[in-house]
């Protein structure tokens, strides 16, 4: 809320139809605990195309917060925001379209929606397209796009190019200014990217900025990235567990860390008796789960890729979660499938049935200790960054596989990051 005017003046402007004032007043109401009234004011501001208001109101419509749920109407509100110049509304609309919230998943149409923002110079969308090209195996085009986004001031694109510089064995000429930007925003993997200082300075930038051939980008990205042709290594037969090493580029792992870091919080569970949230007695680290409204196309692509490693349709996967462990933090022995009281409650089972498989993506490897330990097998898996571990949680009859009991061992030094995706036995209902 603008501190230069009184609340009465703000309300007067809001009643007069000023979208910015309506949004600020809605925010004030929300902060004061009057969420239902706030939604009404978000709706009024959204009608005028106020970008942030459109995003807030669309989320309320999608989740049925104080108003009847209407995902189709949420799409329309996001389109209004996008048509009024909100790149965030356009990006969210593209993501929901790719995921299939409000209709069938349509990756090609999602790219078309996002392309409008990229052509208008939205650095976030250009960065997403660059990373998607990397996932498609087109590193040169991906670096071109990342360079364009970096020149526009996108810090995550700058960090991505520093990672690529490390892999190329060259220090970008812009490295010092980019590292200063990472320090300013407290970028989570800056300490690793600083190693680029030890490399020889490139004669030119990693990829000299040039005009983008958007037609070529669109043709390349009209289909989502596919699973790499790499054979997995079988680790265990009970539970069935396999490992694919170095299948996800490190720059993508960094990206997932960067998106998740601002919203990490202590791990919680829902008490099966009271249905209230409480501290997770098994986990001492931090965690977060991506939300349909908090994803972009890169994360949508990762949703599909991680599910493909489990050899099932992507609509059977829960949203990607990220886990963070510092020194001494761990995830004590546990099952990922629902057992005992969780099964008796039944609420989670209605969303898509049992959690039949787990997919774990290692996001970094600069730590001591840690690792995933299968308790009954006395086996600990600690793969390099970019590797994917897949294991079954249930037997063929659907009962919990007791051999799937596993733990995230305590970290001794450094920080451990990993992404997880649970696979259901049926289509998972996210909204």
- Concatenating the DSSP letter of every residue in 279-339 gives E-SSB-SEEEE--GGG--HHHHHHHHHHHHHTTS-GGGBPPPEEEEE-BT--EEEE-SS--
Query: Which of 173-182, 263-272, 308-317 shows the lowest per-residue confidence on average (mean pLDDT)?
Result: 263-272
* Superfamily per CATH, domain 233-424: q2cbj1_9rhob like domain (2.60.120.620)
Please tell me which residue, 274 or 115, carries the higher pLDDT value. Answer: 115
Identify the band that residue 341 occupies on the pLDDT scale cut at 50, 70 and 90: low
Question: Rounded distance, CA 153 to CA 29, Å?
Answer: 34
Mean pLDDT value of segment 372-381: 97
Q: Cα 17–20–22 angle (5° rounding)?
A: 55
> Residue 17, SS3?
coil
pLDDT for 398 equals 87
Mean pLDDT value of segment 152-169: 97
State phi, psi for 407 to the nearest 5 degrees. Answer: -145, 150
Mean pLDDT value of segment 164-181: 96
Give 330-339 pLDDT, tens digit per residue. Answer: 999 999 999 8
Residue 271 has pLDDT above 80, yes or no: no
Give the helix ranges, DSSP H, for 211-249. Answer: 214-221
Mean pLDDT computed over every residue of the chain? 93
pLDDT for 429 equals 86
State phi, psi for 79 to the nearest 5 degrees. Answer: -65, -40
Give 65-101 pLDDT, tens digit per residue. Answer: 999 999 999 999 999 999 999 999 999 999 999 999 8
DSSP 194: G
pLDDT for 280 equals 82
Kindly list the distances between the CA atom of residue 82 and the CA atoms of 120, 126, 149, in Å, as whole numbers in the listed order.
Answer: 12, 16, 20
Please tell me which residue, 396 or 110, carries the higher pLDDT value. Answer: 110
Task: Tally Cβ neighbours within 10 Å of residue 64.
Answer: 12
Q: Do you find a cis peptide bond into 101, omega within 30 degrees of 0?
A: no
Residue 232 has pLDDT above 50, yes or no: yes
Residue 206 has pLDDT above 70, yes or no: no
Crossing angle of helices 51-63 and 87-99, rounded to 10°: 30
Q: Which fold has domain 7-103?
A: 1.25.40
Residue 2 has pLDDT above 50, yes or no: no
pLDDT for 278 equals 81
């Amino acid at each position: 809320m603008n501190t230069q005017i009184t609340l009465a003046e703000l309300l007067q402007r809001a009643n007069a139809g000023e979208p910015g004032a309506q949004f600020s007043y809605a925010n004030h109401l929300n902060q004061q605990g009057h969420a239902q009234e706030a939604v009404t004011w978000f709706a009024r501001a959204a009608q005028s195309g106020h970008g942030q208001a459109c995003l807030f109101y669309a989320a309320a419509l999608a989740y049925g917060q104080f108003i009847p749920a209407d995902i189709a109407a949420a799409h329309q509100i996001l389109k209004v925001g996008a048509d009024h110049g909100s790149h965030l509304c356009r990006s969210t609309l593209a993501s929901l379209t790719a995921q299939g919230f409000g209709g069938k998943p349509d990756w090609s149409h999602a790219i078309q929606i996002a392309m409008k923002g990229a052509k208008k110079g939205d650095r976030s969308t250009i960065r997403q397209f660059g990373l998607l090209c990397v996932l498609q195996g087109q590193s040169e085009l991906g670096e071109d796009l990342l360079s364009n986004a970096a020149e526009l001031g996108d810090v995550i694109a700058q960090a991505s190019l520093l990672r690529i510089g490390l892999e190329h064995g060259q220090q970008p000429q812009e490295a010092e200014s980019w590292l200063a930007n990472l320090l300013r925003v407290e970028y989570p993997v800056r300490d690793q990217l600083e190693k680029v200082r030890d490399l020889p300075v490139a004669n030119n930038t990693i990829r000299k900025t040039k005009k983008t051939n958007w037609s070529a980008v669109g043709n390349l990205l009209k289909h989502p990235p596919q699973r790499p042709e790499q054979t997995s290594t079988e680790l265990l037969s009970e539970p069935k567990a396999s490992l694919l090493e170095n299948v996800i580029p490190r720059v993508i792992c960094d990206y997932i860390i960067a998106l998740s870091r601002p919203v990490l919080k202590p791990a919680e569970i829902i008490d099966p008796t009271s249905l209230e949230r409480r501290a997770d007695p098994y986990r001492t680290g931090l965690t977060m789960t991506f939300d349909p409204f908090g994803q972009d196309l890169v994360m949508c692509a990762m949703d599909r890729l991680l599910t493909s490693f489990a050899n099932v349709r992507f609509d059977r996967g829960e949203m990607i979660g990220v886990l963070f462990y510092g020194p001494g933090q761990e995830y004590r022995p546990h099952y990922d499938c629902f057992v005992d009281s969780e099964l008796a409650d039944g609420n989670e089972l209605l969303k898509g049935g049992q959690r039949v498989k787990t997919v774990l993506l290692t996001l970094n490897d600069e730590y001591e200790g840690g690792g995933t330990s299968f308790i009954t097998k006395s086996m600990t898996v600690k793969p390099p960054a970019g590797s994917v571990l897949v294991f079954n949680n249930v037997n063929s009859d659907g009962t919990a596989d007791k051999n799937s009991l596993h733990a995230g061992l305590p970290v001794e030094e450094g920080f451990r990051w990993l992404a997880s995706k649970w696979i259901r036995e049926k289509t998972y209902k996210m909204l």
